[in-house]
Structure 1
């Protein structure tokens, strides 16, 4: 991997933990090593679905993520089912990244189970393939976590390479390999191209990654904006983005607080304020594409005494209704009935929503559909009658004050 000017080019690893949630369960209970294991909802519930499956379940029995649990059990009567344990997965993730940090300080966490490692300097004393085998063996021996590793001159190619052989694969992808290896693939298999983007590209006659690499830039920009040009660069194996150790630390928390117009003691008014704050936090979480499992409530009393209380729930959340419900729980539990002058809600330790796998079942789908329908109704009312149709917390506080005066 040499740069065109003769200097040593970058050497980037993409490390991807194989079937991470299921692998964590096997690591915790090594007796499951030769068993078909899935992570799913309550095994007593027929409506549960498979959230993760190890490679024995996948390759030997044809079980896949989102398969109904009853169907998975029909394919494999001896299937081992484990309920999701997010605290275990986060703890194991921290140990994986601590191991990688010892290899190179240039480590960027991409999600709970994958990251980029710039080993350019390290590789001056150890061949990249030897280093990759060392990482793979080390994680397997110390943590019992299998990983696939992509080796390339940039992050995009490293990510594509790590997908090519699973489990326990090590794949080198050079820029000169792109026309032969990547261009024949469907454009939907390209990292960074989601289903909707793939549909737009297909509608333009761009079916393969090769088509994208040769596409007209003006048409791409008109259809996808600047992102279309970036995708074309990557289809040609070009990606200048650095491995940024701070990238995964930029959004540790998302919160909002408000000082009330007067010291409030009415519980229903405080709840309205919490609803407004919850909606604000939810919008920002969605913009940043993050979720959380921990809510922190800040209460500042009339005498400026300030307390913060937090609680962690089992399932990741980002919807306003859930955030409000959890914040209201904390308010009921910790408010001492003294007048309040400030309230704040913060989602702590946020993480990429792609990491969030909930115990989905038909009931959960129905529940979320109802919430979605409610918010659509609210938006329709606001569009038809104006923003005051659904009053927010601050406005209600003012109205409450006027009624008292």
Structure 2
């Protein structure tokens, strides 16, 4: 493995920062080094949901999404820090600037991870030597540890970076796939979420090997084009290039619609906004993005045009979520005059991987509202068993037919 240098093909690195938020806090305040540190909401205000835990904290069983009341029982001496959004963004930019000194072919996958194509960097040494150099630069100059995966493509590189943490370097070749990946449960594969796992289970796919050897027609019928990509990945195949412009190319994503005549009917306008929201959602999904800011455009019959925006508490992608925010904006800014054009635009775009990988810096506040209930449920489970009770969810589907009534109930 140490002598691996492919004669043909690409050499891709996936750099994944270790416990990034916690590591940034430790680098910013060295007195925290070696302590069980968690990044979470204000414990006194009961907004205590863990966002990230240092490896010292993880040794006590502390992990993301765990309520602080539960974490405190496991580790009474843990240190709690509030998230510092601006600091993490600043350090992330510094990190990618350092990676850019190795090769210009750097693609940011999220705030704390990225891909490098080092195929043409042979003058810098063996891939392992380059990976060690990157680790040393980030540790010496920013005080941040990272794990690095080395592979012939992005999927395998990302998979490899997860194998040894913290500060690990792992090579994963295509020929290693049957032994290393295939025995794992399908849920452990990058790109497979809970819903996808459930769908695959319905056709008898439970492991990565099952997916690798599955009928491509069945997979495509079940998951569409994404199914083809997943099957290829299960076989170690990934043709995606490292694209430095992937995130930079999408500052905004939006759509507008011009009515054939001036419209003042609320239901027609709502229906049009719903269609635009779903179109925006489709494009966000294709680009692998979520949006932090939602904007609407209203053009009246006299050609006067206004734009109004709002920032969500956490990045969103679903059409129904976008539509709900759009309708709030419309309700608060429409004076009842007929409209000629409406538009929906999303901005402040972030990678979907970033949103799903770690709790959004603000979403824990919403989760924290359920802490008293969660604590009561946990006590009941401890006394009567895990199956005694659970959290139920009843979501009302929001669409153009009921949105006006839903908004009235939230006033």
Is the structural similarity TM-score above 0.5?
yes
Which residue is equivalent to 2:211? 212
How many angstroms apart in 2 are the aligned matches of 1:226 and 1:317? Answer: 22
Q: 1:241 to 1:355 in 2, by over 3 A?
A: closer
- The 3-state SS of whatever aligns with 1:142 is helix
Q: Which residue of structure 2 aligns with residue 373 of structure 1?
A: 396
Unmatched segments (≥5 aa) in structure 2: 374-391, 406-411
Sort the Cα spacing of 1:2 and 1:26 in 2 relative to 1 into closer, same or farther, 3 A. closer
Pairwise CA distance, 1:22: 2.2
In 2, Cα distance between equivalents of 1:194 and 1:284: 22
Relative to structure 1, the CA distance from residue 208 to residue 305 in structure 2 (aligned partners, 3 Å threshold; closer, same or farther) is closer
State the match for 2:94 in structure 1: 95
User: Structure 1 residues 233 and 316, CA, compared in 2 at 3 Å: closer, same or farther?
Assistant: closer
Residues matched between the structures, number: 369
Residue 246 of structure 1 pairs with residue 283 of structure 2? no
Structure 1 stretches of 5 or more lacking a match? 383-388, 393-405
Structure 1 window deviating more from structure 2 (357-366 vs 239-248): it is: 357-366
What is the TM-score normalised by the length of structure 2? 0.74
3-state SS in 1 of match to 2:149: strand
Q: Which has the larger radius of gyration?
A: 1
How do 1:246-325 residues align onto structure 2 when only pairs under 5 Å count?
246-256=245-255, 280-281=276-277, 284-285=280-281, 288-289=284-285, 290-294=289-293, 315-317=314-316, 319=321, 320-322=323-325
Q: Report SS of the residue matched to 1:231.
A: helix
The answer (yes or no) to whether the contact 2:253–2:284 under 8 Å persists in 1 is no
Are positions 1:363 and 2:349 aligned together? Answer: no
Q: What is the SS of the residue equivalent to 2:138?
A: helix
Residue 201 of structure 2 corresponds to 202
1:317 CA displacement: 4.9
CA shift digits 1:329-385 (9 cap, x unpaired): 8x69xx9xxx9997766433211244231123253799xx9995261xx46xx3xxx
1:12 corresponds to which residue? 12
Aligned equivalents of 1:295, 1:343: Cα separation in 2: 13
- Secondary structure of residue in 1 paired with 2:396: helix
Q: How far is the alpha carbon of 1:321 from its aligned partner?
A: 3.9
1:71 positional shift: 0.5
Alignment of 1:2-151 (within 5 A): 7-46=7-46, 48-59=48-59, 61-151=60-150
Structure-2 separation of matches of 1:89 and 1:137: 20
- Larger mean Cα displacement after TM superposition, 235-244 or 305-314: 305-314
Residues 256 and 277 of structure 1 are in contact (CA less than 8 Å); yes or no, is this contact kept in structure 2? no
Sort the Cα spacing of 1:137 and 1:310 in 2 relative to 1 into closer, same or farther, 3 A: farther
Q: Distance in 2 between matches of 1:169 and 1:354?
A: 21
Distance in 2 separating the partners of 1:222 and 1:317: 27
| Contact kept in structure 1, 2:280 and 2:345, CA below 8 Å | no
- SS state at 1:248 partner: coil
Considering fraction of residues, name the structure with more helix. 1
Deviation of the 1:226 alpha carbon:
3.9
Pairwise CA distance, 1:147: 1.2
Q: Which moved more, 1:309-318 or 1:205-214?
A: 309-318
The answer (yes or no) to whether the contact 2:67–2:368 under 8 Å persists in 1 is no
Equivalent residue, structure 2, for 1:183: 182
In 2, the alpha carbon distance for the partners of 1:125 and 1:150 equals 17
Q: Deviations over 1:212-251 (max 9, x none)?
A: 2223334333433443333232222222221122222343
**TM-score, scaled relative to structure 1:** 0.75
More deviation, 15-24/111-120: 15-24
Backbone CA RMSD of aligned residues: 3.9
SS at 1:241 equivalent: coil
Q: Secondary structure at 1:361's aligned position in 2?
A: helix
Q: Partners in 1 of 2:90 and 2:191 — Cα distance? A: 28
Q: In structure 2, do the counterparts of structure 1 residues 72 and 253 end up closer, same or farther at CA, with 3 Å as the change threshold? A: same
